[in-house]
Amino acid sequence: MIEIKTPAQLDAMRAAGLVVAKTLATLSAAVRPGVSTGELDELAEQTIRDAGAVPSFKGYHGFPASICASVNEQIVHGIPAKSQVLADGDMISIDCGAILDDWHGDSAVTLFVGTVADPDQALSDATHASMLAGIAAIVPGARLTDVSHAIETSVHSSERAHGRSYGIVREYGGHGIGSSMHMDPFLPNHGKPGKGPRLRVGMAIAIEPMLTLGAEETVELEDGWTVITADGSRAAHWEHTVAITDDGPWVLTAPE
Ligand code: MG
Ligand code: MG
């Protein structure tokens, strides 16, 4: 069963989404060489709580922090630490979730620390473009994997435009969201169109493609959380929480 939200409930999700957007904007301004991911985590928790919300990641299946901070070859679910200090040339994906009045927002950005290498910029651009393609495909009457197919098609289009190939991470993907962070349906970031449930007004889905500069294989570290590329290549991750409305997709975690 996919949760269907009323317009008032989507308004409440938008309020939660704005807390996430504000937190990610605050973190984006704080990312620079010499800052630790542990410091970014403290800033995130403070920003979320100052808004009257609760960091949804903290304690989620035992996760110890308010953000996931995934640096370079880390793809997702990196645990922030004071010992993990950002250096010039790093890239970092920050994933953030907040609960406000029992409704969830979930969003991720990929940021650069100082100098940006061309392949890293292209990787992040391709990931962001594929997220936007997925968002555009979230329309009433579409099938779930129409969205997956739109994401994959966008990645291949970027590959042609950039003259390089990207790995599309398979083990992780988007998800329904609302009264919980992770709900049905699971949304793969690749695949044939025309399958899965029909999308309806009132559904909300987190769209979150993850791409690598190398292969798609992943490894989970012994900390039980951090997911890295098996080949050590760098990864990017972008995510928005999106509602399906009569007027089209509503990006609930977009900045105001
Ligand atoms: Mg997320
Ligand atoms: Mg998510």
Q: What is the DSSP string of 92-161?
A: EEEEEEEEETTEEEEEEEEEE-SS--HHHHHHHHHHHHHHHHHHHT--TT-BHHHHHHHHHHHHHHHHHH
pLDDT for 173: 98
Q: pLDDT tens-digit profile of 87-113?
A: 999 999 999 999 999 999 999 999 999
Distance (Å) from CA 33 to ligand 1 centroid: 24
Q: How far apart are CA 49 and CA 53, in angstroms?
A: 5
Q: How far apart are CA 225 and CA 161, in angstroms?
A: 34
Q: Tell me which H or E stretch contains 228.
A: strand 227-229
pLDDT for 196: 97
Distance (Å) from CA 237 to ligand 2 centroid: 10
3-state secondary structure of 232: coil
pLDDT for 193: 98
User: What number is the average pLDDT over the span 135-155?
Assistant: 98
Q: How far apart are CA 107 and CA 104, in angstroms?
A: 10
3-state secondary structure of 212: strand
List the beta bridge partners of residue 128.
Answer: none
Average per-residue pLDDT for the chain:
98
Distance (Å) from CA 209 to ligand 2 centroid: 10
Judged by its nearest atom, the ligand closest to the C-alpha of residue 238 is: 1
Q: pLDDT tens-digit profile of 206-248?
A: 999 999 999 999 999 999 999 999 999 999 999 999 999 999 9
Judged by its nearest atom, the ligand closest to the C-alpha of residue 173 is: 2
User: Which chain residues have CB less than 5 Å from ligand 2, an ion?
Assistant: 106, 206
Instruction: Provide, rounded to the nearest whole percent, the portion of the chain with pLDDT above 70.
Output: 100
* 256 has a pLDDT exceeding 90: no
pLDDT for 10: 98
Distance (Å) from CA 75 to ligand 2 centroid: 13
Distance (Å) from CA 30 to ligand 2 centroid: 22
User: Which chain residues have CB less than 5 Å from ligand 1, an ion?
Assistant: 95, 106, 108, 239
Let me know: does 173 contact 186? Beta carbons within 8 Å.
yes
* 163 has a pLDDT exceeding 90: yes
Q: How far apart are CA 80 and CA 94, in angstroms?
A: 10
Judged by its nearest atom, the ligand closest to the C-alpha of residue 183 is: 2
Judged by its nearest atom, the ligand closest to the C-alpha of residue 57 is: 1
Q: pLDDT tens-digit profile of 30-87?
A: 999 999 999 999 999 999 999 999 999 999 999 999 999 999 999 999 999 999 999 9
Distance (Å) from CA 250 to ligand 1 centroid: 17
Smallest CA-to-CA distance from 17 within 204, 247, 254, 175 is with 254
Amino acid at 165: S
User: What number is the average pLDDT over the span 180-188?
Assistant: 98
